[in-house]
Structure 1
Amino acid sequence: MSLTEKRQIGSKKVMPFTIPSGIITTEPSCLERIAREIPELGVLTTKSIGSEPRVGNREPILAQYIPRGFVNAVGLTNPGAEEFAKKLSTIAFPPDKFLLASIFGKDESEFVFVARTLEKYVDGFELNLSCPHAKGYGMQLGQDKDVVGKITQSVVHSVKKPVFIKLTPNAGNIGEIAKAAIDSGAYGIVAINTVGPGYYSIDGLPVLTNKVGGISGTGITPLGLRCVRDIRQAVGENIPIIGMGGIKNATDVGAYAAAGADFFGIGSALAGMEEIEIKNYFFALIGDINNNCRTNNAENLLKQVDMHYRKVKIEEKIDSSCDFKVIRTNETLTAEPGQFIFAWIPEVGEKPLSVMDDRPLTLGVLERGEFTRKLNSLRKGDCFYIRGPYGKKLNINFNLDTVLVGGGCGIAGLTLIARRAAKRLNNKRLVILLGAKDKEHIPYLDVFKEYGEVLVATEDGSLELKGKVTDLFEKAKLTKECYFFNCGPEKMIDAVIPLELNISRSQLIYSSLDFMTKCGVGLCGSCATKDGRRLCVDGPFMAGV
């Protein structure tokens, strides 16, 4: 059978490629979108789902220790089986694709509960018996063939859908464990999960808040191939094996096929790629395979993401009497309008922050939790770390009147756009509408006034109009067909877009929602929008949100 032909899995016949659990398609909206838009992906795998909601680990949850090599400790973040079932019920998953639900639990009863809860909405199950960094779950269960057999048997007898077992490469007897799973009724095997856990540090300080995490990407391919080979030898022919671990090109796919894999998971290699780039990659991969690996067009499309940290020093701190501070550093970088960086304080955490200015790097920080309180408590001369910038460049020629709409901490994300628009607008208006709860939460007001016409609304009436940013639209006297750039909380954006659609086409309205991205390179999927785009790589400013 050709490596690019459809093959049987459960009751369906699908293309042999998937994205592993926990990567990109972690939200149902993204699952649906990627399944619909990328024909080469025959199997779509959910994030690992447990019986109860689980917050997971604080950021950083992902670090890059070598180019295309990562260490992660997400911590099995998930909304719980019942809530995830509700989410799955809202999407229209393509019937010609296979939806594989990754599930986890600490014992047989939890696995069974999750499987029964999700069975109506999925085509099969992947039992996560291999996560290397969650205490009491995953790998701690998956290295004992008797435990694996019992859990497998319990789930198989409880549902009518195919059950796959995802195994850890850390087990010295992975073939025996795979055989025990198949003998207990498993339909197939998934291998491998991440290796480790491993440890990665900067200046002697652990990057991951969890300190250790699973290793993926470049470097683990030989181990993945050995595991798949051992599994195939143990379980014999006609048992489906989904092989993964460091796959990046057609040569790797061929090697996994030779080792015994039927389906192929590609995950970490897709770091930094937006949807259209992933689509082009899989199309090129099929071409390379059909060309007997004489071309390597797919790998040439992969991106080199930059996740390295650099230390910056606070040169100036503009304190206000409220919970919003402006921090000016000694670092100069080149950032495009709308882009953001991650600020990291070792052993405290990291968060994405809009770039208010890039020369020098200036950040607006609204206190929301432990990390932002700690960052705002730093003084002149203190240091922290940054990485980035991230996000797409805005390719706008500003040939129309332009309106910037900012609310709360989203105002900080508009300063670079204001500067760029002011330089490019030729006999066109730049109108800046800002809303916040009081005047202390309106940063850089004098700077905004240098660039364009500024109108302000504060909820307490302490500055200009008493009200919300929506109350400024009539006063602004906006003309038809102008650009809108919105940056702020989701409620604000939901409120202003209907007003903007009365003035402009949706293609001219760009919004950056205040969703929390956790990795910045598109892998974790936490910043997925309602329509399945990922803000950190497809945005942050996107039309038609």
Structure 2
Amino acid sequence: QDPALVREITAAVKAAVNIPVIPKLTPNTPDIAAIARAALEAGADGLCAINTVGPGYTSAHGHAVLSNGEGGISGKGVLPTGLKCVRDVAAVSKRPIIGCGGVSSADDVRAYRDAGATVVGVGSALVGLTTQEIADYFVALEADLDSGGERAEALVRYDIDMRFRPVELVANTRVCADIALLTFDRAVNIQAGEFVFLWIPGLGEKPFSALVDDPFTLAVIDVGEFTHALLDLPVGTEAYVRGPHGIPVAPPDDARIMAVAGGTGLAAVYQLARDFGNAEIFAGARSADRLYFLDECRQVADVHVATDDGSEGFHGRVTELLRERLQAMSEAERDTLVFYNCGPEPMVHAALAVQREFCRPGQSFSAIDYLTKCGVGICGACAAPDGRRICVDGPFISAP
């Protein structure tokens, strides 16, 4: 908002890099043209307008949803503000302008171009769309711009459910020093392969696969501040659930399911085996004291256990146990297999390597715990190396 600061920062960035510098301007200023001029004077190669509007405040069940309390507003509602700001910036700039904020249709793109934008950005309209759906959206948007039609906006997911539903903790069962099972007082509507966010006001929210949907049960491992606090969460605590998110798994009717799990990865595959049947579960852990829910697993699948120290089951890696099982199968049997891998990234890659020795890549699907923040594909934090976003394209994605 301070032209002098904008000038100083832009000049410093220009001096440090050899790529185009395009500052993204805040709309939360009485004179956006002034900060646009300051950026241009400092050597900006172009300008982008707008950043988020606000800050704003949103709440659920009497609590601020954002950990910071307030945050920027984006989406369809900021379109008029974005258009006005681009007009104001275009009045003082002959350099390229990226116009963005509230774009979802060809009419919105035309409006930004009329306001002076050289390039138009689309962001919030892509919430909840898979990679293929985004491609379909932009094909439709380009066709609309050529034909004068308005088909693209019909592909926007205005139905994404971001509500928080209350649950109460009724049991906190410690498995070992850093793993616990949390059981809540009601069921959640979640299918195998989907995930939810658990929100504790004042603490934050994180994504989890549901070990069990009814009663809603989570397997939690201590990997940070939030999960550390969950290990000691007292019975009676009210928490909130958002979701489900992700794509449910859909194995072929005649498939033999091979679920390979390490750590809390079992939470992502138990319901899969329970709901589809004809399954084998390979559960791996460092030691016997880190294993959990095996009796329940044995009721729905053939269970194979491996521990690194040999304290239970096969002595060695779970992927070594998997190799032994696959070696014992005929080629015809292996052709019917579908693999679902979930656990630490090294384990998943090792499982994929074993599976490629005996089966086709298309038979394997994996869920790796990449950092997941929004759950609806808009932040990009959970992108896999090939660009697929785990929260909307997965969490189980096919082998690359």
Residue by residue over 1:89-109, the C-alpha shift from the partner in whole angstroms, topping out at 9 and shown as x without a partner, is: xxxxxxxxxxxxxxxxxxxxx
Q: Deviations over 1:110-167 (max 9, x none)?
A: xxxxxxxxxxxxxxxxxxxxxxxxxxxxxxxxx2223323443454466554332221
Matching residue within 125, 147, 151 for 1:297: 151
Aligned-partner Cα distance in 2 for 1:383–1:490: 32
C-alpha distance in structure 2 between counterparts of 1:454 and 1:494, whole Å: 21
1: CA distance, partners of 2:42 / 2:305: 66
Residue 415 in 1 paired to residue 260 in 2?
Answer: no
Q: How far does residue 516 in structure 1 lie from its aligned partner after superposition?
A: 2.3
Distance 1:190 1:499, change over 3 A: same
Conserved? CA contact 1:338–1:355, under 8 Å? no
Aligned partner of 2:132: which letter? I
Deviation (angstroms), 1:320: 2.9
Matched, 1:465 2:314: yes
Question: Which of 323, 346, 363 pairs up with 1:491?
Answer: 346
Query: Residue 410 of structure 1 contacts residue 514 of structure 1 at CA under 8 Å; is this kept in 2?
Result: no
Distance in 2 (CA, whole Å) between partners of 1:457 and 1:224 is 57
Partner residue in 2 for 1:366? 221
Aligned to 1:77: none
Q: Deviations over 1:217-254 (max 9, x none)?
A: 1211111111111111223xx42111011111111111
User: In 2, Cα distance between the equivalents of 1:320 and 1:187?
Assistant: 57
Q: 3-state SS of the aligned residue for 2:77?
A: coil
- Aligned position for 2:35: 177
Distance 2:298 2:384 in 1: 32
- Long gaps (5+) in structure 2: none
Q: State the alpha-carbon separation in 1 of the partners of residues 49 and 283 from structure 2.
A: 51
| Contact 1:352–1:516 (8 Å) recurs in 2 | no
Aligned residue runs from structure 1 range 29-428, under 5 A: 143-156=1-14, 161-235=19-93, 238-292=94-148, 295-303=149-157, 304-422=159-277, 425=278
- Deviation sequence 1:449-470 (CA, Å, 0-9, x none): 1122111011232222222202
Shift, 1:446, TM fit: 1.1
482-491 or 453-462, larger mean C-alpha shift: 453-462
* Number of residue pairs the alignment of both structures matches: 393
2-side partners of 1:321 and 1:155: how far apart? 49
User: Do the aligned residues in 2 keep the contact of 1:343 with 1:351 (CA within 8 Å)?
Assistant: yes
Q: Distance in 2 between matches of 1:195 and 1:398?
A: 49
Change (3 A) 1:324 1:147: closer
Are the counterparts in 2 of residues 314 and 382 from structure 1 also a CA contact under 8 Å?
yes
Structure 1 unaligned residues grouped into runs of 5+: 1-142
Root-mean-square deviation over aligned CA pairs:
1.8
Q: What is the alpha-carbon distance in structure 2 between the residues aligned to residue 215 and residue 463 of structure 1?
A: 52
Measure, in 2, the Cα distance between the counterparts of 1:405 and 1:327: 22
Amino acid in structure 1 at the alignment position of 2:96: P
TM-score relative to the length of structure 1? 0.69
Contact 2:37 2:92 in 1 (8 A): yes
**Inter-CA distance 155–461: structure 2 relative to 1 (3 Å threshold):** closer
**Equivalent in 294, 299, 305 of residue 456 of structure 1:** 305
Instruction: Please state how far the C-alpha of 1:274 moved relative to its aligned partner.
Output: 0.9
Deviation at 1:347, TM superposition (A): 1.3
Task: Label 1:370 to 1:154 Cα distance change in 2 as closer, same or farther (>3 A).
Answer: closer
CA distance in 2 between counterparts of 1:486 and 1:150 reads: 50
> Compared with structure 1, are the counterparts of its residues 439 and 241 closer, same or farther at alpha carbon in structure 2 (3 Å cutoff)?
same
Give the counterpart letter for 2:113 in structure 1. Answer: A
Partners of 1:456 and 1:159 in 2: how far apart?
A: 53
Partner AA of 2:87 in structure 1: R
1:434 aligns with 2:283: yes
Amino acid at match of 1:305: I
Report 1 or 2 for greater relative contact order, CA contacts < 8 Å, sequence distance ≥ 6: 1
Per-residue deviation at 1:480?
2.2
What is the alpha-carbon distance in structure 2 between the residues aligned to residue 322 and residue 160 of structure 1?
A: 50
How big is the shift at 1:418? 0.5
Counterpart residue type for residue 450 of structure 1: Q
Q: Which runs of 4+ in 1 moved over 6 A?
A: none
CA distance in 1, matches of 2:213, 2:13: 54
Moved more, 270-279 or 186-195: 186-195
1:156–1:447 Cα change, 3 Å? closer
Cα distance change of structure 1 residues 155 and 448 upon mapping to structure 2, 3 Å threshold = closer
Whole-Å separation in 1 of the counterparts to 2:369 and 2:42: 47
CA distance in 2, matches of 1:465, 1:160: 55
Shift of 1:403: 1.0
The residue identity in structure 1 corresponding to 2:106 is A
In 1, the alpha carbon distance for the partners of 2:7 and 2:177 equals 58
Residue deviations 1:310-335 (CA, integer Å, cap 9, x gap):
11012333333432222221232321
Identity %: 42
**For the Cα contact (< 8 Å) 2:23–2:44, is it kept in 1?**
yes
Change in Cα spacing, 1:471 to 1:224, as seen in structure 2 (3 Å) is same
| Higher alpha-carbon deviation: 147-156 or 497-506 | 147-156
Evaluate the alpha carbon distance shift between residue 257 and residue 500 of structure 1 in structure 2; reply closer, same or farther with a 3 A threshold.
Answer: same
